[in-house]
Chains A and B, each alone.
Chain A
Amino acid sequence: MHAIYPLTLAALLFAVGVYGVLARRNAVAVLMAIELLLNAVNLNLVAFSALLRDQFGMGQVFTIFLITVAAAETGLGLAIVLLLYRNRGTAAIDDARELGEDGALGLKRLPAQTVTENDKAVAK
């Protein structure tokens, strides 16, 4: 197996993931793109493990570690997205701009958020 095939595929998948993270608006879609980024790194680990003939099996063991970390990351990320949705009524990350300064980087303050059920509950 020529090393160029798996490594090029990993590089292309990483680039696709970068595009997805930057271009998507829905937070769950951004999480999907992050999965693609992590999987590109996994493919690199497996390919280099075979290419460099590592005697400790580091590449494949670390791939399994990384799959576990990615699963934990997805679980936590979805919990945070769920919290965002519950408090704002939307999962669009473009709308979460409270920490942005007015006029900085060309961002403009969005109109006031609609009051969700959770806001009412908190107000009580």
Chain B
Amino acid sequence: MTPTTRPLGSTTGVEITFILVGLLTFAAAVLTVTVRNLVHAALWLVVALGGLAGCYLLLAAEFVAWVQVLIYVGAVAVLLLFGLMLTRAPIGRTTELDSENRWAALVVGLATAGVLVTVVADAVRTTWFDPRAAVVNGTAKAVGSSLFRYWVLPFEVLSVFLLAALVGAIVLSRRDVSDQEAEA
């Protein structure tokens, strides 16, 4: 199967919306890793993940978009905020959030961006696709039927994995385990 191509100039309304949402997402991501206030960084991360949910919607992946909102914006962000509070992270503006090798990190980040964007842009160039013409469209019905028709084993393995992670997290963060060991 060869994807169709279209010249880059022919921008549709969906693409303009995607570019705007993508710019918002990118700006929020940059703020997440640069802002000096740790709580603000967590809240910008929420904006970035919500923007990505919008991108999924524009790519006609509805079910994934709502899973993203439920799990990331709902659960993971709250988990991160709890982590900040439990480790008594500095709440206000602080200068010690960035490590001293941030300039090397900036060089590595820019190099990664340069390589990836150059390669990707050269590879797909004018490739065009219609997200709504996908064989498995993004509705809950289609994704669910493909999940339980073709991907049952990974699904079950993943449930065991989640259980193991849950037990591991509880064992790691229980306080009395180490106390008992110290007394023994």
Chain B residues contacting A7 (CB-CB under 8 Å) are 120-121, 124
* Bound: A52/B133 CA distance, A: 11
Number of interface residues of B (CB under 8 A): 100
Among residues of B, the one whose C-beta sits closest to the C-beta of A85 is B87
Chain A residues contacting B120 (CB-CB under 8 Å) are 4, 7-8, 11
A56 near B136: Cβ-Cβ < 8 Å: yes
B117's partner among A1, A11, A29, A32 (CB-CB below 8 A) is A11
Chain A residues contacting B89 (CB-CB under 8 Å) are 26, 28, 91
Number of interface residues of A (CB under 8 A): 77
CB distance from B140 to the nearest CB of A (A): 11
Among residues of B, the one whose C-beta sits closest to the C-beta of A68 is B158
* Bound: A31/B168 CA distance, A: 18
B33's partner among A23, A63, A68 (CB-CB below 8 A) is A23
Interface residues of A in 44-96 (CB under 8 A from B): 46-47, 49-58, 60-61, 63-65, 67-76, 78-83, 85-86, 91-92, 94
CB distance from A11 to the nearest CB of B (A): 4
